[in-house]
Every structure is written in C-alpha cells, then in structure tokens.
Structure 1
Amino acid sequence: MGEVPLSLHVDADVREKLEAEANLQQTSAEDVAELAIKRYLEIREHEREILRERIAEADKGVFISGEAMHRWIESWGTENELPPPEPDVFLPPRRT
C-alpha cells in the first residue's frame, strides 16, 4: 500500500517535543510521528487481542472466588503459606 497524506493539528508543545526528538534521531518530525502512530496502533491491536483472549477464557465460566484468593494472599509470608487456589466457581459456559 502506498503512502497517503495525513494532516493533523497538535498543540505547540507537542510539535516542539516532536521536532526535538526528530533532531535527536537526525530524522524528520514526520518520520517520528509516523513511527509513533504505527507503534500506538500495534499496541492497541495487541491489547484488543489480549482482551479477546481473556473474554474467551471468562466465557468458559471457571473462576476462583474472591474468598479463596483472599485466603491465599493473606497466607503469603507466613509459616502456613497456601498454594495458589484452584477454581471453585463454575458457571454455565456463556454462549455467544
């Protein structure tokens, strides 16, 4: 896919910081901005994928209760430290 123009307005301080960063990298402000946008979009897509995975896991209906988690955390650093809790809440799987 070829390049297409994009125009945007930013605060003066953002533009100043962008130009300062470009000077440090010995490149253009446009190149720094393009890279920043690419990285932002990659991060957001990664976050959405993680969320999709977590939702799919939660939709299975298998959970650890707050009480079990609390008992485990309270045992940390004691003589009777408990192992991580096993799931103890089982709901019908969610159908989508």
Structure 2
Amino acid sequence: MGAAPLSLNVKSELKDELKREARLLKISESEIAEHAIKIFLDLQSHKRDVIAAAAKEADKGVFISSEAMEAWLERLDDDPDASAPETDIYLPPRR
C-alpha cells in the first residue's frame, strides 16, 4: 500500500512532545503518528466487536441478576476464589 498525505492540527504542546519522542526513538514524527492512529483504530474495531458479541449473547435472554452479582462480590471479600454466580434470569430469546 502506498502512502497518502494527511494533515493534522494539534496543540503546540502535543507537537512539541511528538518531536521530543521522535528524537528519542530516532524515528519520524509521522511514524509515531501513524502507529498511534493504527492503535486507536484497532482498539475501536475491537471495542465494536466486543459490544456486538455482548449484544448477541444478551439476545439469548440469559442473565445473572444484580442481587446474585452483589452477593458474589460480597463473598469475594472473604473468599477470593468464590465461584461466579449462576444465571438466574431467563427471558425469551430475541431474534
């Protein structure tokens, strides 16, 4: 893939920090910016995937009540290995 120009306006403090980091790493400011943008986009994609998977799981209609979760959290104070609560709410699956 070829490179494409991209222009950004950032606060001068951020630009100074970017320059300083580029000098320390002995790479260009563009390389740092490209890497940072890639990480951000990957994280956003992962976040969307996790949300979609959670929504798909929720559509099954199987949940743990807040009471069961709170009781489990309290048990964790005394027993860090306390087993997680069982599902106790069953709704008709969404389609």
| Range of TM-score over shorter length | 0.7 to 0.9
Number of equivalent positions: 93
Which runs of no fewer than 5 residues in structure 2 stay unpaired? none
Which runs of no fewer than 5 residues in structure 1 stay unpaired? none
Q: Structure 2 counterpart of 1:86, which letter?
A: E
Alignment RMSD, CA only? 1.6
**Rounded Cα–Cα distance in structure 2 between residues aligned with 1:12 and 1:4:** 24
- Displacement after TM superposition at 1:82 (Å): 5.7
Q: Return structure 1 stretches of 4+ with deviation > 4 angstroms.
A: none
**Rounded Cα–Cα distance in structure 2 between residues aligned with 1:66 and 1:11:** 44
Give the TM-score normalised by the residue count of structure 2: 0.88
Q: Which residue of 2 aligns with 1:58?
A: 58
Q: Structure 2 counterpart of 1:37, which letter?
A: I
Give the TM-score normalised by the residue count of structure 1: 0.87
Q: Which residue of 1 aligns with 2:44?
A: 44
- Displacement after TM superposition at 1:89 (Å): 0.3
Q: Percent identity?
A: 45
